[in-house]
Amino acid sequence: MAVKLASSPNTSVRLALVSGSIPLGGSTTFLINFAGELVRRGIPVLVISLERENPLGADFQKQNIPVLCLDNRGLIFEDRLAVALRELSVFQPTAVVATLGASSFEILRYLPAGVVRIGMGQSDDPLVYAMMRHYAPWMDLVAMVSRAMQEKAAAMPEFARVPVAYLPYGVPMCADAALPARNWQQPLRLLYLGRLGREQKRVHLFPEIFAQLCASGIPFHWTIAGVGEERAFLEANLISPSPRQTVHFAGSVNYAAVPGLLQTHAVYLLASDYEGLPLSLLEAMGYGVVPVVSDLRSGISEVVDATTGLLVPVADTAGYARAIVHLHAHREELAAKSAAARARVRERFSVAAMTEQWLRALPAPPASVPQWPRRWKIGGPLTSTDRIYFSPPARFFRRLVTRFRKQA
């Protein structure tokens, strides 16, 4: 299962990014952006996912990012961790970043002394903090994508001995000349780009927002890009009463196609009730798409203000439609916010800026050379309360089950 690594000039940094999975979404886009920039800079990088699905595999490949996806149907949890650790021992990283899910943080427990261990928090969700605190003894640095998340983590007693850094996302920026000129007088083109789920993203509010937009009489076209369990619900409830007010479901969008989508829209809508730092928000603003988003202290309000977009109180569902109607009626303001949004991201949230911050934040590894063991005695996850399931006898039977399942 050896992974071909990108060649590089002499450098002291070798970075491994481990994720519990790499689904469609901001956490995977972060890996593509960050790892891709490291490849361009000649810094050795390896991405490991503890699940086999890789819907953005072509995007990793396009940037020559080495990725190892482990078979979660053919290997039990403990064996996947062992394979990941063997690959890491071959790669010889100076630092390992656990990026998503408790399974990725489990890797930190088994790294030898001399490897810098970093845990990353990407969502301002109580469950994320509750999970991360279990792994505090195995962290040399905690990385949070928003200042509010940084403050919350720094206040936790479990992280009293661990530095907590603010390391926001960064997104690619196109040249000004490559950005098509927008006609700010045409009907508004709205965009939602993300998971179609009730949890966090609250897409079940869209029919109410849609009805209010239709009642306002303004012309618009709303593109909903993404996949999720609520797509059928949305398709059944976002039926246009007028050819001047339309909705299009774009489905799954490859990351390479996102710029083209952003270039043709004017307003980005996000009605979440919690977030970290939404990467799609940064992407949209980087292309001058004006955000109409929830007024969340964590992440969003660190990027969006009165100059760059419109913030809506989370409980004010009607406020999202009012904000869009306001932009329809104030086109000069819309154009000004577009320019300010793009400038904000270019200055503070580009891929280059993100990478520089990460490289500065990495603790220096100890002088001793890490001694990687040949085998690991891997136990159950710290977050699991089912000791029987992860006991040696149960492990034997679980291996048999996965073997039969793989052969079926």
> What confidence tens digit (pLDDT) does each residue in 170-211 have?
999 888 877 878 888 899 999 999 999 999 899 999 999 999
Whether 8 has a pLDDT exceeding 60, the answer reads no
Whether 91 has a pLDDT exceeding 60, the answer reads yes
**Phi, psi at residue 36, to the nearest 5°?**
-60, -40
| pLDDT recorded at residue 179 | 81
Same domain for 340 and 292? yes
| pLDDT recorded at residue 408 | 60
Same domain for 333 and 371? no
* Size of the chain, expressed as the number of residues it contains: 408
Same domain for 28 and 125? yes
* Helix axes 206-216 and 317-329, enclosed angle (nearest 10): 40
Displacement of CA 94 from its chain's centroid (Å): 23
Q: Rounded CA gap, 79 and 255, in Å?
A: 31
Q: Rounded CA gap, 158 and 156, in Å?
A: 5
| pLDDT recorded at residue 167 | 96
For residue 228, the tally of other CB atoms under 10 A from its CB is: 16
Residue 88, judged by CB atoms within 10 A of its CB (0-12, 13-18, 19+), counts as buried
Report which of residues 392 and 35 the model is more confident about.
35
Residue 262, judged by CB atoms within 10 A of its CB (0-12, 13-18, 19+), counts as buried
Residue 387 lies in a domain: no
Same domain for 191 and 162? no
Whether 364 has a pLDDT exceeding 90, the answer reads no
Q: Residue range 365-369: average pLDDT?
A: 78
| pLDDT recorded at residue 2 | 41
Mean pLDDT of the chain: 91
DSSP of 217-253, one letter per residue?
Answer: T--EEEEEE---TTHHHHHHH---SBTTEEEEEEE--
Question: Contact at 8 Å (CB) between 18 and 98?
Answer: yes
Q: Residue range 44-51: average pLDDT?
A: 97
Whether 11 has a pLDDT exceeding 70, the answer reads no
Same domain for 65 and 122? yes
Residue 395 lies in a domain: no
Give, in order, the Cα–Cα distances in Å from 387 to each of 138, 209, 391.
21, 47, 6
Whether 166 has a pLDDT exceeding 70, the answer reads yes
Q: List the domain range (segments joined by +) for residue 107.
A: 15-170+354-379
Structure-block tokens of residue 202: 């609250």
Lowest mean pLDDT among 2-16, 40-54, 131-145, 256-270: 2-16
Whether 103 has a pLDDT exceeding 90, the answer reads yes
Same domain for 23 and 110? yes
Whether 213 has a pLDDT exceeding 90, the answer reads yes
CATH number at residue 55: 3.40.50.2000
What would you measure as the largest C-alpha separation in the chain, in angstroms? 69
Number of domains the chain contains: 2
Same domain for 262 and 362? no
Categorize the per-residue pLDDT at 10 as very low, low, confident or very high, splitting at 50, 70 and 90: very low
Q: Rounded CA gap, 61 and 59, in Å?
A: 5
Same domain for 190 and 139? no
| pLDDT recorded at residue 87 | 96
| pLDDT recorded at residue 136 | 96
Question: Contact at 8 Å (CB) between 264 and 240?
Answer: no
265-299 burial, b for 16+ CB within 10 Å, e for fewer? bbbbbbbbebbbbbbbbbbbbbbbbbbbbbebebb
